[in-house]
Amino acid sequence: MDHFEYRDGDLFAENVDISEIAAQVGTPFYCYSSATLRRHYAVLADALAQAGLPDTLICYSVKANSNIGVVATLAAQGAGADIVSQGELIRAMKAGIPAEKIVFSGVGKTAPEMRAALHAGIAQFNVESLSEIDMLASVAQDIGATARIALRVNPDIDAGTHEKISTGKAENKFGIAWEDAEAAYAHAAALDGIEANGIDIHIGSQITDLAPFRAAFEKTAELLDRLRANGHNITRLDLGGGLGVPYENNNETPPDPVAYAQMIEQILGDKGCQIILEPGRLIAANAGVLVTSVIRSKRGQAKNFMIVDAAMTELLRPTLYGAYHHIAPVIETTTSDQTIDWDVVGPVCESGDFLGLSRPLPDMPSGALLAVFSVGAYGAVLGSSYNTRPAAPEVLVDGERFEIVRQRPDYEAMLDGETVPDWLS
Ligand code: LLP
């Protein structure tokens, strides 16, 4: 459930009228709801507690929405962070997430990133290859630190999701092959500067069925037993993120967090391990909308186009994954308004630049506002300045108040750092 609703025909984020924000901030902009972020975090935390899992850590996956206002909202709820770069480490810490609640994932950590995270004293590195273990050991030895690691193993399970966001199959670049896991733990155990006491998996994103999770957790339980039999002291199980959310106008029914938590408890609850989760989308997706204005509409022979001021530069998911995002007028139209099908497209010079195809909407005048829903996760973070478009501002609402938590850059700021080379000036 989210906190975006129509009141007397006008879309509100919590108690703030979105049209009011648009008047002050200009479009396009992202609008996030604090109450929704808190609610989604609480639903998962409560589900874990209710399932009777005593020792859990929810590490919000910062990549989903890394605005520090958003991360700070979750930090205040007690969230940890799953990060994948030094930049995200800096963001997470700036937002108030304590280092001891930070796990560092990713297939390509560099030595400087490892050093920064070791200096910060993070909880765990999720390590994905033998060469990464060796590099981490050498960086740790160099600075006299010990890196607590989990090995990310690839359970070779089809998460049944879009191929570009599936990570747990043998052909994906992620993790250590299941067959090689025992040897990798033996390798890690022999190294100074490394404490290999975790297992990590993450099989994909926007997973709408519990079955692949079950299969992966069962394999993890089996591996845990084998590793313990081999003498490894495994104390942490990081089960990744991946829980799906409803996008299709809330008609989808992704797994219930309570059922998910109960399944974890059933399969892994008696192993005496801390359970770490890395949810991103579940927390943030439905906590954000993208607000855009109609520039003009254009009726064609084959299609009608509604050209708006947001584009693939603000929301890449439709272009990249063919993803569906619900689009609706911010000021509700009456049923007497005749609708026709429109492709809602941006101004970017690419035919793939669209936010929604064949959407039944009234012919809206220039300046009318539209909301694109469920963009709180993988919206702003996938943005670009292609076509020299300034990044859209991000606004965070909390009850009656709102604040711009990322400003729209002016053109001077956008060009700052670029130069005409000496030989041309
Ligand atoms: N942990 C790891 C190691 C991950 O790679 C990811 C997401 C997560 C956690 C969080 O997954 P979530 O709970 O959000 O599903 N841009 C794509 C999604 C890419 C997901 C990448 N990894 C999209 O817009 O659908």
Rg of the chain on CA atoms, in Å:
23
Ligand 1 center–CA 26 separation, angstroms:
30
Note the pLDDT tens digit of each residue in 40-78.
999 999 999 999 998 999 999 999 999 999 999 999 999
Given 31, 59, 273, 349, the catalytic residue: 349
* Ligand 1 atom with minimal separation from the 382 CA: 16
* Ligand 1 atom with minimal separation from the 316 CA: 24
Average pLDDT over residues 334-339: 75
pLDDT of residue 252: 73
**Which residue has the CA at smallest separation from atom 7 of ligand 1?**
205
CA pair distance 360, 347, nearest whole angstrom:
20
Contact 256, 220 (CB under 8 A): no
* Ligand 1 atom with minimal separation from the 320 CA: 24
pLDDT of residue 276: 98
Indicate if the alpha-carbon torsion angle 108, 111, 112, 115 is positive or negative. positive
pLDDT of residue 168: 72
Note the pLDDT tens digit of each residue in 248-278.
865 678 889 999 999 999 999 999 999 999 9
Token pair listed for 300: 């064609």
Amino acid at 54: P
What DSSP line would sit under 205-272, residue for residue? SSB--HHHHHHHHHHHHHHHHHHHHTT----EEE----B----STT---PPPHHHHHHHHHHHHTTS-
Report the mean per-residue pLDDT for the chain.
96
Q: Is 349 a catalytic residue?
A: yes
User: What element of type H or E holds 69?
Assistant: helix 68-75
Distances (CA, A) of 150 to 30, 230, 383: 35, 16, 31
Ligand 1 center–CA 349 separation, angstroms:
28
Average pLDDT over residues 78-98: 98
**Which residue has the CA at smallest separation from atom 19 of ligand 1?**
165
pLDDT of residue 194: 98
Query: Which residue is it, tokens 């765990």?
Result: 124
* Ligand 1 atom with minimal separation from the 152 CA: 3
- Residues in the chain, total: 425
**Which residue has the CA at smallest separation from atom 22 of ligand 1?**
205
In this model, does residue 336 exceed pLDDT 80?
no
Average pLDDT over residues 2-21: 97
- 3-state secondary structure (DSSP) of residue 397: strand
CA pair distance 321, 268, nearest whole angstrom:
33
Contact 139, 163 (CB under 8 A): no
Using alpha carbons only, give the angle 304, 308, 310 rounded to the nearest 5 degrees: 135
Using alpha carbons only, give the angle 229, 234, 239 rounded to the nearest 5 degrees: 120
Ligand 1 center–CA 204 separation, angstroms:
7
pLDDT of residue 249: 63
Token pair listed for 71: 């991360």
Question: Among 40, 41, 61, which is best to mutate for testing ligand 1, by the most ligand atoms less than 8 A from CB?
Answer: 61
Ligand 1 center–CA 242 separation, angstroms:
6
**Which residue has the CA at smallest separation from atom 23 of ligand 1?**
378
In this model, does residue 421 exceed pLDDT 80?
yes
pLDDT tier, 313 (very low <50, low <70, confident <90, very high otherwise): very high
CA pair distance 375, 32, nearest whole angstrom:
9
Token pair listed for 279: 């949810």
Nearest residue to 216 via CA among 163, 257, 175, 272: 175
CA pair distance 107, 89, nearest whole angstrom:
16
- 3-state secondary structure (DSSP) of residue 423: helix
Ligand 1 center–CA 258 separation, angstroms:
20
In order of their start, the domains of the chain are 4-32+285-415 (2.40.37.10), 34-283 (3.20.20.10)
* Ligand 1 atom with minimal separation from the 378 CA: 24
Token pair listed for 144: 């006299």
pLDDT top residue among 170 and 392? 392
pLDDT tier, 322 (very low <50, low <70, confident <90, very high otherwise): very high
Query: Which residue is it, tokens 């989308």?
Result: 281
In this model, does residue 127 exceed pLDDT 80?
yes
Query: Which residue is it, tokens 């190294």?
Result: 191
pLDDT of residue 335: 61
Exposed / middle / buried, residue 167 (Cβ in 10 Å: 0-12, 13-18, 19+): buried
CA pair distance 198, 80, nearest whole angstrom:
17
Token pair listed for 328: 């609706």
Q: What lines the ligand 1 site, CB under 6 Å?
A: 61, 64, 82, 105, 165, 202, 205-206, 240-243, 278-282, 317, 321, 377-378
Question: Among 37, 41, 63, which is best to mutate for testing ligand 1, by the most ligand atoms less than 8 A from CB?
Answer: 63
- 3-state secondary structure (DSSP) of residue 71: helix
Ligand 1 center–CA 287 separation, angstroms:
16
Average pLDDT over residues 417-421: 96
Average pLDDT over residues 7-28: 98
pLDDT of residue 80: 98
Note the pLDDT tens digit of each residue in 19-45.
999 999 999 999 999 999 999 999 999
pLDDT tier, 1 (very low <50, low <70, confident <90, very high otherwise): confident
pLDDT of residue 243: 97
Token pair listed for 139: 């960086």
Note the pLDDT tens digit of each residue in 173-222.
888 999 999 999 999 999 999 999 999 999 999 999 999 999 999 999 99
CA pair distance 291, 268, nearest whole angstrom:
42
Ligand 1 center–CA 61 separation, angstroms:
7
